[in-house]
Structure 1
Amino acid sequence: MIYPSVQSAVVSALAAECIDNTSKQAWQKLIDLDTVRVGSGVSASDRMQADCWVFARLHSQLIPRHWNALVAKYSTHKGRKVQAISALVPVVASHAPRLFIGNAVTAWAIPPMKGAAGKRSVDMIVLPEQFYDLNRWDPEARPERTRRRWRQGINEVLESLVTEAMVAAENILDREGVLSGNCA
């Protein structure tokens, strides 16, 4: 057992690729990763290996739309997140125009950040506040009620994709025995 839930496994695996292995400061070298224990008593280096393995396993075994939904929702890797958003746009069924769908998927995957504009992490994708204005998403200026209905429908499609992906990921990780309650 390494992960208490499928969500923690997915989030941890998607975050693993953003952890740097660059040279460290002198005080950081004092920490021996093999002796540091995380969560369930697994060393940090073993956990990193497990996260990378889970990442590879899920990437190879999930269908593309499920993989892209998880990456768009949970990844912190800018490039992968943008790729996943681009791959999800044609998958989303909606009566909305493509521009609207693209913006809605992007806004779902990159929600507005709280806090002052200059006080955010530079490692996160931060969109300008005006991006989230629905009026900019539809050049034909359809009624607000229509735009809100479209956005709600698109969000429901995306959330259902994430739910399906989590179920599929749980089945994969259950077979591998890395979730709580699955150790022999």
Structure 2
Amino acid sequence: MPVIYRDALSAVIRCLAEDCIDTASKQAWQRLSRDASPGPRPGPRSTAQERLALDCLVHARLHRELPPRLWHVLVARYSTHNARKVEAIGRLVPQLRSPAPQLFRYKAVTTWAIPQQKGRSGRRSTDMLVLPAEFYDMNTWDPEGRPEQTRRRWRAGIRKELEAMVDAALVQVQAILQDEGLLIDEAT
């Protein structure tokens, strides 16, 4: 029995993380911790290698079948691979329908994809993308100094469009996973 995902979002998160999964041998407590994590539920005899292989296959299938716009929004939002996340952000910016200038759109998408973290300088991990605190200051997003109400309206519109794209992508991911029989059947 293959790995079965509980929903489309957990499948997306799991398959986008496959870029950063360490396949080195682990101590017993590390394997137990990983196996207890949310995400796909293994079949009775699936191994870590089988789960990783399926995650890679799902990653490839989603990348191939989703429209580029929807693939990029998922990568920007959920990927743990810093270079791919930054590339996806760059590809999303010109596709947005907004009267905001290019710099504003770029910073709005970037702060949506890399939200500000609480804590000291936002750092929780050395591998995590962290933007400087001033990047989140919306006053720096528009060099023409338009009114704050205008900037807030632009930011809200951009975020609404991005969230709608995520929702549309997850609907398509769910359909793909259901076709493959990789989602847990809620009725059972």
- Give the structure-2-normalised TM-score: 0.87
Tell me which residue corresponds to 1:52: 56
Q: Distance in 2 between matches of 1:114 and 1:59?
A: 32
5 Å matches for 1:107-146?
107-117=111-121, 119-146=123-150
Q: How does 1:1-184 map to 2 (within 5 A)?
A: 2-22=4-24, 28=26, 39-41=41-43, 42-117=46-121, 119-181=123-185
- For the residues of structure 2 that align with 1:89 and 1:159, how far apart are their CA atoms? 14
- The 1:143–1:21 alpha-carbon spacing in structure 2 relative to 1, beyond 3 Å, is same
Measured against aligned partners, the alpha-carbon deviations of 1:47-88 in whole angstroms (never above 9, x if no partner) come to 111111110110011000000000001001001100100000
* Amino acid in structure 2 at the alignment position of 1:16: E
Measure the CA separation in 2 of the matches of 1:144 and 1:31: 51
In structure 2, the CA distance between the partners of 1:37 and 1:152, relative to structure 1 (3 Å rule), is closer
Q: Does the residue aligned with 1:17 lie in a helix, a strand or coil?
A: helix
**Counterpart-to-counterpart distance in 2, 1:119 and 1:170:** 33
Local SS of the residue matching 2:20: coil
Residue 93 of structure 1, CA deviation = 0.5
User: Residues of 1 paired with 2:30 and 2:123: CA distance?
Assistant: 31
Alignment partners' CA distance in 1, 2:71 and 2:158: 18
Q: Cα offset for 1:44?
A: 2.2
Distance 1:11 1:32, change over 3 A: closer
Contact 1:37 1:43 in 2 (8 A): no
Give the aligned CA root-mean-square deviation in angstroms: 2.1
Query: Structure 1 residues 104, 32: CA separation in 2 closer, same or farther (over 3 Å shift)?
Result: closer
Provide, for residues 82-132 of structure 1, a one-character-per-residue CA deviation record: whole Å limited to 9, x for no partner: 010000001110010011001100010000011112752011100011100
TM-score for both structures, normalised by structure 1: 0.88
Residues 95, 6 of structure 1: alpha-carbon distance in 2 compared, 3 angstrom cutoff: same
Q: Which deviates the most, 72-81 or 46-55?
A: 46-55
- Secondary structure, aligned partner of 1:138: coil
Deviation at 1:45, TM superposition (A): 2.0
Tell me, yes or no, if the aligned pair for 2:121 and 2:133 is still in contact at 8 Å. no
Listed as ranges, the gaps of 5+ residues in structure 2 are: none
Task: Output the CA distance in 2 between the equivalents of 1:120 and 1:32.
Answer: 20
Question: Structure 1 stretches of 5 or more lacking a match?
Answer: none
Deviation (angstroms), 1:20: 2.1
